[in-house]
Structure formats: C-alpha cells, structure tokens
A = this chain, B = another copy of it.
Amino acid sequence: MKATIYDVAKQAGVSIATVSKVINQTGRISEETRAKVNRIMQELNYQPSVVASALTGKQTFTLGLLLPDLANPFFAEIARSVEDRAHELGFSVMICSTDNNLLREERNISLLKQKSVDGIIIATGVRNDAILKDLKKQNFPVALIARDMPSLAIDTVLVDDFIGGHMAASHLIEQGHRQIAVIAEDTLVMSSKERIRGYRFALEEAGIAYIPELVRISDFKVTDAKQVAGEMLDSSQPPTAIFACNDLLATGVIQAVRERGLSVPGDLSIVGFDNTLLATIVDPPLTTVAQPIQEMGQKVVDLIIRIINDKNSTKQRIVMLPELVIRSSVSRPGEYRNK
C-alpha cells in the first residue's frame, strides 16, 4: 500500500502534525527533525495525497479547461499554452471538449465542480450567460479566454477582434479588393460579431457598400467552410477575396477554390484568423490575423490563479492586439487571373 503520513510519523518517531508541518513548511520545526522527516519521506517514497489535503479545505491544484474541440489546432494550441503555464505553477488541467454544445458544457462544468477543481477556464463560444452568471453568483473562479462576455464582470483575456477584423479587411481593400466576403463560424458569438464589425468599419472607411449576402455563416468544420465558399464561388458575382474568421475555415476555402481548378490568390485572395500551425502548412501559406496564443494562455492562468488566491481580487479584462501576418494568400484582384 502507499505510504501515508502516519507511516512517515511512525518511522521518524514524531507525530503526524510534525510531518504535516515539514511538508507544508509551516510552524517551527527544528532543523534536526526536519531533516529526519525529510529523509524518511524519501526512504518511504512518500507522496502526500492531494485528495486528502483537498478535503481539509486546501486546493486541489487542478484547473478545468472548457473548449469547443481539441482537434481544432487553435484550441489545441490554447490548451497547450494553458497547460504549460499551469504546470509551471503546480497546477494540472482537466480538458473538456464541448463541441459548442450547451448541454455538454453544463454537464462538464458540474462535473468539474464535483471534482473540486480550483477554477475553470472557458474558451467555448456558446452564448451561455446563464451558466456564467451562475458560476459568478457562487463566486466560483472563472476566466474566459478568446471569448468575450462584456455584460458580466469576469476575468478575460482576448484579442481585440474588432481591430483584427478591421486589419483583415483593410489589408484586402488596400490590395484593391471590393468584393470581400466573410465566412464566420457563428455570428452570435461576440468575437465573430466584433470581427465582422471591424470588417464593416473598414468597408465603410473605404466607401465600399456593405452587402449582407457577402457575410456567411458556416459550421465549424473544414468541410462546412468549403461548402459555403463553394457556393459563393459558384454565384454569378463571386467575391474576389474572402476573410475567413479562423484558419481552419480558411483551409476549407482554399480547398473549395482548388476544387474548381482556380487558384489562391490568383482567383481568390484569402485572409484567415488565429495564425495557427495550419497557416504555415497550407499552400499557399496563409495571410492571417495572429492571436498571441502563447501569451494569452499564460495570462488566463495567471488571472485565474490570482482569483483563486483572492476571490475578491478585482476583475481584469486583458485585451491584446492582433497582428497581421502577411504570407502568400493575398494578391491584387485579378492579378494572376490568366487561366
């Protein structure tokens, strides 16, 4: 059986209270006994049980992370950075994919709470104010990453989506595009909304009329984006450029273009969003609006750990600036159109 604090105490000839003190470095213990206890712990290969210690009111040093889908590289990269920072700080992380399904989200949160995680980081996009309000009411540590809920005072780190959308559209406009379409995942989600708002603002600035039909919603799979992009491409007045609201969707757009024997950027310019691994891997390499994923991950865990340690700490909303990464998926409209 695994050694317990009792075994250590017995072996060391001290009380369990003393052992507990040397483990937690609390109280005053003579150098002598401290050394002895430490030695015994080594010998017995003793590992304090987080479960038992959690029961006495201490933390579990575990964070929950809710995201739509681990198989989407953007979220995988978020998860990785959260995990890294959490580990640095001695926390583990339980990951739950929700597929943006409200029910799964609820179930997972309740599960995580049963397991007494110290806090929950949420990256899922559904408009779950109710759930969040609930969590807030119970004063349960929550933080949001890459999603926004401005109506609630919740710690958040995200990129300025409005600026991001604006960047994408402006870049396209600068290159001479006028027929610029958008493919978004879910226009009800704040970040999509903001990106589209940024896009519209750029259009307006340039005196280009906003055409609602050019803004299309797609499901979150590559094939969905491909489908939607295909429809636009086949229309009587196809756009000359598409702003895909994330890199994964952008790859779907690329596929739709290629499937029609057309080329990127010759026949269609594309700009993505996120700057994940995908952007560097597709052909042509994707011009995209970069989110500083590493930093964002790091910051949410710092944020949530701050709340855990002080439930009344003032809420923060960290808005980072996106950056346009120019690669090769954008050109002037019609520039290479010579097939």
Contacts and interface: CB of A to CB of B under 8 A. Distances in A.
A132 interface: no
A: interface residue count bin: 35 or more
A222 interface: yes
A73 B222 CA distance: 15
Contact of A94 (B69, B94, B110, B280): B94
Contact of A50 (B50, B108, B115): B115
A229 to B, nearest CB: 14
A87 B49 CA distance: 24
Given A94-B92, A282-B283, A283-B282, A116 B71 contact: no
A83 B254 CA distance: 30
Interface in A23-59: 47-52, 54-55
A70 interface: yes
Nearest to A283: B283
What's the number of copies of this chain in the assembled complex? 2
Contact of A95 (B52, B73, B79, B111): B79
A114 interface: yes
A159 to B, nearest CB: 19
A97 interface: yes
A116 B54 CA distance: 12
A134 B97 CA distance: 32
Contacts of A337: none
A89 interface: no
Nearest to A276: B71
A92 B76 contact: no
Given A47-B110, A70-B83, 20 more contacts: A47-B114, A49-B55, A49-B114, A50-B115, A51-B54, A60-B115, A69-B80, A70-B76, A71-B77, A73-B277, A76-B76, A79-B95, A83-B96, A84-B97, A87-B108, A92-B112, A93-B94, A94-B95, A281-B281, A281-B282
